[in-house]
């Protein structure tokens, strides 16, 4: 008898504590954020955007504890299909939308630019598009042939499937099978280290990470493309030729949670995350 | 086996529990290896169904996004880097163990041993980074592009050297003192003792060291990825860049989807087969040496 009443009493106390705690926490939430957000958002698509979206999602979740952001990669085309078929709330597409995709609403959260880098000691200040193509296809193998010092060119290429490679080959209308590389690298950092350690190397990397290294005193230099200086400013204002927007797309005009998240992803609150991942913040 | 057969041990009921627990743990350990192999096969099945195993060895190049899947240059790259580094590291490792055991004063030997242990503890990415910023530019001065089979062999040699040196050191230390005393009584010189008595007695230990270092040389990824250049090709000289199977997976894993991703699991499977072959050869040789 006494035993069961004991259990009942403890249950009652536990219940009371629960109710009180829940009341407190929801009161807190309401104070921070008047229109309390609840629910789950699914983002699928580009593997370039996925890490960025995941970081933004984490910050969004910490500010809105009732929200879950689920990020899955699988390529830009998956982002398009999933958003169209409403499998995902938001699709991630790491390129500008094609004319036949204009039924979707696109929101750029960042830009990505790619440029050619050389060692700082290399006297060459610029290369024409044709010269770069000739170097990458192995028609030009010595710096002397393009006005530099005598020395064999070390061509640094990206590994298959990397988005930087896609952007680079698309602009120069190259096929990856035609590129004659001496070094194949993975991420931008490795490319920068390789070029910094070899005065005869030529490579191409994301502008964000290259600028970052130059300010940290790494001995590389960024070449202009088509006469336009490779700076984040030029990527930002859209004049730099090798760049692309990183888009979040939705099927219909976003509302509610989706709209909140898109606004958040394009706000100043996440610009540090964008810069940290070596992308360029878009000016609205 | 002899322990299990002895009746006196089994008469304690507690031992029954112990035996079954140990059997269970052994099954778990074995199952992990089997599960990995099954997982690798399942993940590579899609691409094996589409293109067949044969094309992984007969295609014109490795361009998975264009549907070309030749793994042979990478298999060869892995083997060349492995053979080169094992050939250099093994004599250095064994002879340094000999120095440590039989020639060095105890103080020097202890100091030297802890240095080698330190070498074993350095993470591979540190070796790779050092290789990328120091070794590769150095080789580039001799013969561009610097990132090459030679750089890979050099880095691997440094990385596997502590494995063979430490295992050889331990197995030389286990040679019974009576053997050495016997050799001394016969009037053998110090080198004669080592060559004719110590090496044969420590043979299985030295062999274990060789297998361990070879395994490490095959499996090493990060450092190799950073210094080898990663161009998929059959090298014509030691200054040509190569790509190993492990580097291939690490390079392309993050961006691979569909058949490309599946093809990376096939390269994992090929690596697994290489390791299985290595273990099998080691098993055969060690059985020949004991019988």
Residues A235-271: tens digit of each pLDDT:
988 899 999 889 999 999 998 899 999 999 999 899 9
Among B61, B256, B260, select the one facing A177 at the smallest CB separation: B61
Q: Verify whether the Cβ–Cβ distance B251 to A186 is below 8 Å.
A: yes
Instruction: Report the residue count for chain A.
Output: 284
Of A163, A183, A186, the CB nearest to B231: A183
Chain B residues with CB inside 8 Å of A196's CB?
A: 133
How long, in residues, is chain B? 291
Is 0.85 exceeded by the ipTM? no
Q: Which residue of B has its CA nearest to A75?
A: B257
At A279, give phi and psi (nearest 5°): -105, 170
| pLDDT at residue B253 tops 70 | yes
Structure letter (DSSP) for residue A228: B
Please, which pLDDT band fits residue B209 given cuts at 50, 70 and 90? very high
Based on its alpha-carbon atoms, the radius of gyration of chain B, rounded to whole angstroms, reads 23
- Determine the Cα angle at B150 with ends A135 and B264, to 5°: 70
Predicted TM-score of the model (pTM):
0.76
Q: For residue A198, which residues of chain B lie inside 8 Å, CB to CB? A: 136-137, 140, 144-146
Q: Is the pLDDT of residue A6 over 70?
A: no
> Which parts of A160-270 fold into alpha helices (H)?
163-172, 188-196, 207-215, 232-236, 256-265
Of A32-36, A182-186, B33-37, B88-92, which gets the smallest average pLDDT? A32-36
> Is pLDDT of A142 > 80?
yes
Strands B62-63 and B68-69 come out as: antiparallel
- Residue A205, beta-bridge partner list: A115
Strand runs labelled E in A120-237 = 154-158, 183-185, 201-206, 220-222
pLDDT at B84 over 60: yes
User: What is the DSSP secondary structure assignment for residue A152, as one 8-state letter?
Assistant: B
State the residue for tokens 């691409």: B47
User: B136 to chain A nearest CA, in Å?
Assistant: 8
Pairing, β A220-222 against β A105-119: antiparallel
Sort residue A147 into left (φ over 0), alpha (ψ -120 to 50) or beta: left
- In this model, does residue A25 exceed pLDDT 70? no
Which residues 106-145 of B have a C-beta within 8 angstroms of A? 132-133, 136-137, 140, 144-145
Cβ pair A194:B225 closer than 8 A: no
Distance from CA of A122 to the nearest CA of B (A): 15
The token pair that represents B57 in the structure block: 């060895």
Q: Does B235 lie at the interface with A, CB-CB under 8 angstroms?
A: no
33-92 in B: which are within 8 Å (CB) of A? 61-66
Strand-pairing partners, residue A68, are A40
Average pLDDT, chain A: 84
In terms of C-beta density within 10 A (0-12 exposed, 13-18 middle, 19 or more buried), how is residue B94 classed? buried
Instruction: Indicate yes or no: CB of A159 within 8 angstroms of CB of B256.
Output: no
Tokens of B19: 């035996």
A51 contact B CB<8A: no
pLDDT at position A31: 41
């Amino acid at each position: 008898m006494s035993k069961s009443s004991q259990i009942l009493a403890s249950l009652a106390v536990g219940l009371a504590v629960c109710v009180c705690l829940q009341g407190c926490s929801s009161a807190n939430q309401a104070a921070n954020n008047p229109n309390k957000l609840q629910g789950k958002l699914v983002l699928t698509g580009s593997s370039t955007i996925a890490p960025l979206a995941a970081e933004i999602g984490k910050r969004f979740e910490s500010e809105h504890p009732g929200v879950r952001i689920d990020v899955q990669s699988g390529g830009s085309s998956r982002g398009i299909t999933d958003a169209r078929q409403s499998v995902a709330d938001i699709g991630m597409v790491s390129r500008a939308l094609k004319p036949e995709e204009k039924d979707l609403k696109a929101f750029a959260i960042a830009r990505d630019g790619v440029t050619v880098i050389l060692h700082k000691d290399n006297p060459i200040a610029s290369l024409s598009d044709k010269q770069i193509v000739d170097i990458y296809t192995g028609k030009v193998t010595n710096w002397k042939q393009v006005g530099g010092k005598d020395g064999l060119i070390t061509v640094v290429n990206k590994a298959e499937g990397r988005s930087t490679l896609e952007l680079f080959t698309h602009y120069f209308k190259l096929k990856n099978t035609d590129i004659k590389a001496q070094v194949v690298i993975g991420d931008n950092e490795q490319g920068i280290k390789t070029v910094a350690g070899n005065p005869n190397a030529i490579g191409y990397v994301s502008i964000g990470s290259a600028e970052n290294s130059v300010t940290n005193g790494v001995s590389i230099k960024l070449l202009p493309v088509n006469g336009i200086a490779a700076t984040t400013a030029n990527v930002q204002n859209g004049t730099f030729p090798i760049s692309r927007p990183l888009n979040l797309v939705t099927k219909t005009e976003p509302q509610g949670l989706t709209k909140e998240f898109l606004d958040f992803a394009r706000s100043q609150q996440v610009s540090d995350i964008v810069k940290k991942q070596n992308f360029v913040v878009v000016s609205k | 086996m002899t322990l299990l057969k002895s009746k006196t041990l089994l008469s304690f009921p507690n031992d029954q529990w112990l035996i079954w627990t140990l059997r269970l743990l052994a099954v778990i350990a074995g199952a992990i290896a089997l599960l990995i192999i099954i997982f690798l096969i399942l993940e590579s099945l899609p691409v094996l169904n589409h293109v067949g195993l044969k094309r992984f060895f007969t295609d014109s190049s490795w361009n998975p996004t264009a549907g070309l899947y030749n793994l042979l240059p990478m298999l060869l790259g892995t083997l060349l880097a492995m053979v080169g580094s094992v050939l250099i590291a093994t004599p250095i490792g064994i002879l340094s163990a000999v120095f440590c055991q039989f020639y060095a004063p105890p103080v020097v030997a202890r100091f030297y041993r802890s240095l080698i242990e330190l070498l074993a503890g350095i993470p591979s990415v540190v070796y790779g980074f050092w290789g990328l910023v120091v070794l590769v530019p150095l080789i580039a001065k001799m013969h561009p592009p610097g990132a090459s089979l030679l750089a890979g062999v050099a880095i691997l040699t440094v990385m596997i050297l502590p494995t063979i040196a430490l295992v050889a050191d331990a197995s030389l230390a286990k040679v019974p003192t009576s053997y050495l005393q016997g050799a001394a009584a016969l009037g053998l010189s110090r080198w004669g003792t080592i060559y004719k008595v110590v090496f044969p007695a420590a043979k299985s230990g030295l062999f274990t060291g060789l297998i361990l270092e070879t395994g490490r040389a095959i499996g090493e990824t990060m450092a190799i990825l950073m210094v080898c250049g990663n161009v998929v090709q059959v090298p014509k000289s030691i200054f040509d860049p190569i790509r190993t199977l492990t580097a291939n997976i690490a390079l392309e894993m993050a961006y691979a989807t569909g058949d490309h991703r599946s093809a990376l699991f096939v390269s994992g499977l090929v690596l697994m087969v290489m390791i299985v072959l290595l273990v099998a050869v080691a098993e055969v040789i060690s059985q020949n040496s004991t019988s």
